[in-house]
Amino acid sequence: MLRQEAVQRASALGAALCTSLERGAIAALLRRGHASQAAPAPAEAPQLPPFDYTPPPYTGPPKEEVLALRKKFLNPAIFHHFKQPVMIVDGKMQYLFDETGRRYLDAFGGIVTVSVGHCHPEVNAAVIEQTQRLQHTTSIYLHHQIAEYAAELAAKMPGNLKNVYFVNSGSEANDMAMMMARLYTGAHDIITLRNAYHGLSEATMGLLGQHTWKFPVPQGAGVHHALNPNPYRGVFGNDGPAYARDVADLISAATPGRVAGFIHETVQGVGGAVPLADGYLPAVYKTVREAGGVCIADEVQTGFGRTGSAYWGFQNQGVVPDIVTMAKGIGNGLPLAAVVTTPEIAQVLASRLHFNTYGGNPVSCAAGRAVLRVVENEGLQQNCADVGGHLLLKLRALQAKHSIIGDVRGMGLMVGVELVKDRDTKEPAVHETAVVFERCKDLGLLLGKGGLYGNVFRVKPPMCWTHADVDFLAAVLDQALSEL
């Protein structure tokens, strides 16, 4: 009788306090009549690679107070990752540190914004030097930083893409690109893609191909969303020209037959690191230009060597756009963006007064110039190719081990890992993704998450990652998936 009461008490305690995995383990033990037997020891957590940096002690308010201030004074639309949010107070190259000094491997780069590394010494030095001389003036005065930076950036562009307009964000850049396309062509209709993300201004929201980011306000006048050339989920698989034929049909059916332009990411970022189907861009560029439109490449996430195989993402499909937009990694975290186009298209803005107060800020331009130097001098494009290749090998090995991984895709250090409940139906594993996402954080790995269903891990770290960092990511992800 005493043994039976003990078993009943243990069962009640397990149901009330343990996780589902623990409850299953205890139930099995009880069935065997060994309720007092200890559960198996958890797997040893993977260890971060050695790194010679210790952040200074944090002296600000505690995390709980910071969270309370956010909730009280920041707009409720501003969300944080993780159920128990991480407070980041220090960063160095590919690593971040919380208020306790704990180190994390950054696999998301401030949402694909930190390109050459957190607090890179050359970028920091350029920013500090310029800040000490002149923090801000505007383009109504001459300043060497904006002029020299424009020349250096134009030198990185193919063809006749030689005219630069600096702004502050990717949304601003894409907004301007849309206006320039409409002014230059005299047409209004713009083609974009389902699953696309090009910003959250009222104009660029109309380009979005995901309902989760759209507010119920008037938007998208003249914007048409073509089939997404997604090799994993798309209706035509990896047949790029088939998707391009859909664009031709869309132009003939839903527009006056003439369009202002077509805008695309080369690898869809927020959409879950989705590369465009092979052969898509050459075919669709031809179709759009035959309809009088210009082609706009959104390089906000794919630029500056991140794909490894090319400096700009569009070069991976052998095309030259008419307008290129860029932001995020262009300034390694400073507010900086640009629209680069041909002198002929650029001329349309000169028909009226047009001005951007902060565009071309001397400090931001000094940072942008330093980023160009670091990418070149440290061989970061080649590093993306090398380390990114190792990353894909490791992730595909995990895919062979864990059936929940439906797809591993991307190029360089812009990679997506999509979790599904069933590889045949491709049903998104939304809950499981959230669980693994949290567990990876607990183990010291900060991932991104995206896709329409939130079931894709976005691996887009600072471009200074090493093989050892990849090995740590693989070990953490393996453990978190195994614990499912």
Q: What is the pLDDT of residue 42?
A: 60
Q: In a 3-state reduction of DSSP, which class is residue 338?
A: strand
Q: Which DSSP string do the residues of 58-95 spell out, in sequence order?
A: P-S--HHHHHHHHHHHS-TT---SSSS---EEEEEBTE
- From first to last of its 484 residues, the chain has per-residue pLDDT tens of 333 433 343 334 333 333 333 334 334 433 333 333 344 456 789 999 999 999 999 999 999 999 999 999 999 999 888 999 999 999 999 999 999 999 999 999 999 999 999 999 999 999 999 999 999 998 999 999 999 999 999 999 999 999 999 999 999 999 999 999 999 999 999 999 999 999 999 999 999 999 999 999 999 999 999 999 999 999 999 999 999 999 999 999 999 999 999 999 999 999 999 999 999 999 999 999 999 999 999 999 999 999 999 999 999 999 999 999 999 999 999 999 999 999 999 999 999 999 999 999 999 999 999 999 999 999 999 999 999 999 999 999 999 999 999 999 999 999 999 999 999 999 999 999 999 999 999 999 999 999 999 999 999 999 999 999 999 999 999 999 999 9
Looking at the fold, whether 230 and 355 belong to one and the same domain comes out as yes
**Is residue 38 situated within a structural domain?**
no
Is the same domain home to 102 and 127?
no
CATH code where residue 448 lies:
3.90.1150.10
- Domains held by the chain: number: 3
User: Is there a single domain that holds both residue 405 and residue 453?
Assistant: yes
* Cα dist from 91 to 55, 87, 116, whole Å: 8, 12, 12
Residue 204 belongs to some domain of the structure: yes
Same domain, 365 and 446: no
Tell me, yes or no, whether 411 and 279 share the same domain.
Answer: no
Taking each helix axis from N to C terminus, what angle separates 380-401 and 362-377, rounded to the nearest 10 degrees?
Answer: 70
Distances (CA, A) of 148 to 61, 155, 285, 311, 324: 41, 11, 31, 20, 19
Compute how many other C-beta atoms are within 10 angstroms of the C-beta atom of residue 126.
Answer: 22
Per the domain annotation, does 154 fall within a domain?
A: yes
**246 within domain boundaries:** yes
The verdict on 217 and 327 lying in the same domain is: yes
Residue 170's CB is within 10 A of a number of other CB atoms, namely 27
Question: Does residue 104 share a domain with residue 167?
Answer: no
State residue 14's pLDDT score: 37
Residues 329, 408: one domain? no
DSSP code, position 469? H
pLDDT in tens, 233-253: 999 999 999 999 999 999 999
pLDDT at site 157: 98
Q: Report if residue 179 sits inside a domain.
A: yes
How many CA atoms within 13 Å lie on the side-chain side of 465? Answer: 34
Residue 414's nearest CA partner among 195, 170, 112 is: 112
Q: Which domain holds residue 22?
A: 2-31
Give residue for tokens 């390694």: 332
Q: For the chain, how many helices (H) and strands (E)?
A: 15, 17
Q: How far apart are the first and last CA of the chain?
A: 37
List Cα–Cα distances, 87 to 82, 94, 443, in angstroms. Answer: 11, 16, 15
Residue 270 belongs to domain with CATH number? 3.40.640.10
In a domain, residue 56? The reply is no
Q: Are residues 292 and 419 in the same domain?
A: no
User: What would the two tokens of residue 167 be?
Assistant: 């702004």
One-letter amino acid for residue 471 of the chain: D
In the numeric block, the tokens 């037959």 are attached to: 257
C-alpha 73/C-alpha 57 separation (Å) is: 26
* DSSP codes, 181-217: HHHHHS---EEEETT-----SHHHHTT---GGG--SS
Q: Which of 377, 411, 427 represents a domain boundary (last residue)?
A: 377
Cβ count within 10 A of residue 469:
24
Residues 182 and 231 in one domain: yes
pLDDT at 25: 38
Q: How far apart are CA 412 and CA 310, in angstroms?
A: 9
Residue 54 lies in a domain: no
Structural tokens at position 133: 């001389």
The whole-number pLDDT of residue 392 equals 98
pLDDT of residue 128: 98
Q: What is the pLDDT of residue 23?
A: 37
Q: Report residue 476 as tokens.
A: 């953490």
Does one domain contain both 164 and 151? yes
CB neighbours (10 Å) of residue 121? 12
Among all chains, which residue has been given the structure tokens 């756009």?
Answer: 321
**Same domain as 90, residue 214:** no
Q: Are 169 and 200 in contact (CB under 8 A)?
A: no
**DSSP assignment letter at 59:** -
